Amino acid sequence: MVSGFCNFLKNFIRNFNLYSCMNNRIAVMDLGTNTFHLLIAEVENSTAREVYHTQEPVKLGEGGINKGFIQPEAFVRGINAMLHFAGHIKANNAATVKCIATSMLRNAANGAQFIDEVKAQTGIQIELIDGQQEAAYIYEGVKASGCLPDDNSLIMDIGGGSIEFILCTDEQILWKQSFEIGAARMMDKFHREDPITPECINELHQYLEQTLPDLFSAVAQNPVGKLIGSAGAFETFAEVIELENRRIFDIKQTHSYDFDLRDFIDTTDIIIRSNYQERSQMKGVIPLRVDMIVVASLITRFVMDKLRISNVGMSTYSLKEGVLAGMIT
């Protein structure tokens, strides 16, 4: 009798602890213009441990990025991705859910319709944030990776719809701004031929000169020693370089990375000169980035040259990790 009660008590405690643990799980979603991300983490004593992470190449801006409208095919892809995410959230027993949407959804004429449809079909409430809040989350994410040096750095997050620049130290943000010059927008405007032509590159450079004077001014007042790319294209640059050099490298096990400048220049030169078929065969270039990696390379190199930055690093942490950090502190 006592033995039976003890076994019951042990099972009860084990199941209770498991239930309590699972109810400390947080799901964070980042709905970008190109990719939807889902991160589920288990939180204990203000520390988060990744339980599940997935992403879907939704390409929400395809065909409509500069028209301000989510095309029907992209709309359906987005809804299907959210249905998949809802299933993963339920399967992993996440008790707290936060879903953030950025450039494409905040600018699309039918963005509100998409948000309503997601709510109706999944119960997930999407929170639309502006570029300033997006930049703040990105800073917190990069900071959490532990890659920020003591002196001034410039974080650069290349999204499909927008690019966020954050001038900062490891202690604070000195200046931040979001620009609607994401890779999908710039590809639609300037990458009209493949390989991209010198004329198109020149047009892109002129456009960036006209668009980024606030960035130039901020850095002139607060010179930076390092450019830190936030995930996305910078992960691709790192993977291409490491695989080309035949080194063992797992991006999933990497929080931060410092580029060799010569490797970075050589790799981005090759990408810029390549055509679609050549890029699709490059080890380290995932299908989602075969198109946009050219423009991402050009914008990064323009910023480096304009601001005379030769020290470049990368953080695999970005917006979703920044959102998570804010939820557990």
Q: In angstroms, rounded to a whole number, what is the distance separating the alpha carbons of residues 157 and 155?
A: 7
- For residue 96, the SS3 value is strand
pLDDT at 3: 47
What is the rounded radius of gyration, in angstroms, for the C-alpha atoms of the chain? 21
* CATH architecture, range 2-128: 2-Layer Sandwich (3.30)
312: β partners: 227
User: Nearest-5° angle of CA 216, CA 130, CA 115?
Assistant: 145
226, 149 contact by CB (below 8 A): yes
Q: In angstroms, rounded to a whole number, what is the distance separating the alpha carbons of residues 204 and 139?
A: 27
pLDDT at 192: 87
**Residue that is written with structure tokens 């006592």 in the block:** 2
Token pair for residue 104? 């494409």
Reported confidence tier of residue 46, pLDDT bands at 50, 70, 90: confident
In tens, the pLDDT along 156-206 reads 999 999 999 999 999 999 999 999 999 999 999 999 899 999 999 999 999
pLDDT at 251: 86
Token pair for residue 88? 């993963």
Would the pLDDT of 146 be above 50?
yes
* CATH architecture, range 147-322: 2-Layer Sandwich (3.30)
Would the pLDDT of 21 be above 60?
no
89, 118 contact by CB (below 8 A): no
User: What are the DSSP calls for 288-326, one per residue?
Assistant: GGTTTHHHHHHHHHHHHHHHT---EEEES--HHHHHHHH
| Better pLDDT: 247 or 51 | 51
Give the mean model confidence (pLDDT) for residues 269-277.
Answer: 97
- Domain positions in the chain are 2-128, 147-322
What percent of the chain shows pLDDT beyond 70?
A: 93
Reported pTM: 0.90
HSE, CB side, 13 Å, CA atoms: give it for residue 63.
7
Reported confidence tier of residue 23, pLDDT bands at 50, 70, 90: low
Asked whether this chain's domains 2-128 and 147-322 adopt the same fold, the reply is yes
Q: In angstroms, rounded to a whole number, what is the distance separating the alpha carbons of residues 302 and 154?
A: 14
